[in-house]
Amino acid sequence: MGKDQRNTNAVSSMIAVNFSEMKISSNPVETLVAFSIGSGIGMTIHDPVGGVGGVLNFILPDSTKANGSNPAKTPYMFADTGITAFLKALFEQGAKAENLKVVIAGAAHVLDQTGVFNIGQKNLEALKTCLDGYDIKIHHEASGGTQSRTISLEIGSGASIIKIFGQEEEKV
């Protein structure tokens, strides 16, 4: 969680992507961050050729399964509607499917949370099914376990950074 923190005078600026949100940028000084991801998934996609990238922070696998919510209003809450809209927005900004570098972090679970209640696992399966449909591969995956993660994307370098509290960060 967190607020937008834009500082136009700074050398670099950090922009938070809260859960159920997606943000895209082609500004090389910007870093997009999805903080504290639990069983949801923070997904960074970058096209180094087009110099565009974005972060999607979804929390549920299937827009048809959450009674009472309106996926048309909150497409980025779900893997199915979120990833589709995320890719569409990237393609509109000139990104090409064959260039995309995809990094994902999240899909954690509570201890002993198995079977139907393991939403993290379901999020991961939904994401993979969706990406398979576009024939897009995952470059790096940090998923499962019981720790929350933070993932960020540096638009300039295209690097994704995954952090877990008390551990060294992974830069890919």
Partner 1 sequence: MTNLNGIVEQINLLEPIPAIASQIMTKSEDPDSSLAEIADLIIKDPALTANLLKICNSAYFGLPRKVESVKGAVAWLGLDQIVELVLTNSVSGKFNKGLEGYGLGEGELWRHAVTSAHVAKSLAHRYGASQNKHLIYTAALLKDIGKLILGRFVAFSFEKINILVHSQGYSFNDAEKNVIGMNHEELGAMVGEKWSFSEKLIYIIRHHHLTDESARQDLETTLIYLADIICMMMGICSGTDGLSYRFYSDVLKRINVSEKDLQAIIAETSENQQKIEHLLKLF
Is the separation of the CB atoms in 172 and 136 below 8 Å? Answer: no
The residues in 121-160 that bind partner 1, with binding defined as CB under 8 A, are 146-148
Of 18, 26, 84, 99, which one interacts with partner 1 (CB under 8 A)? 18
- From the number of C-beta atoms within 10 Å of its C-beta (0-12, 13-18, 19+), residue 119 rates as buried
How far, in Å, CA of 35 to CA of 169, rounded?
14
Pairing of strands 13-16, 21-25: unpaired
Specify the stretch interacting with partner 1 by CB under 8 A; choose among 56-64, 125-133, 135-143, 155-163: 56-64
Q: Does the protein bind partner 1 through residue 115 (CB under 8 A)?
A: yes
How far, in Å, CA of 50 to CA of 69, rounded?
35
How far, in Å, CA of 51 to CA of 131, rounded?
21
Specify the stretch interacting with partner 1 by CB under 8 A; choose among 33-41, 48-56, 94-102, 124-132: 33-41
Q: Does the protein bind partner 1 through residue 74 (CB under 8 A)?
A: yes
Q: Does the protein bind partner 1 through residue 38 (CB under 8 A)?
A: yes
Residues forming contacts to partner 1 in the complex (CB under 8 A) are: 1, 18-20, 35-40, 59-62, 65-69, 74, 77, 108-117, 119-120, 146-148, 165-166
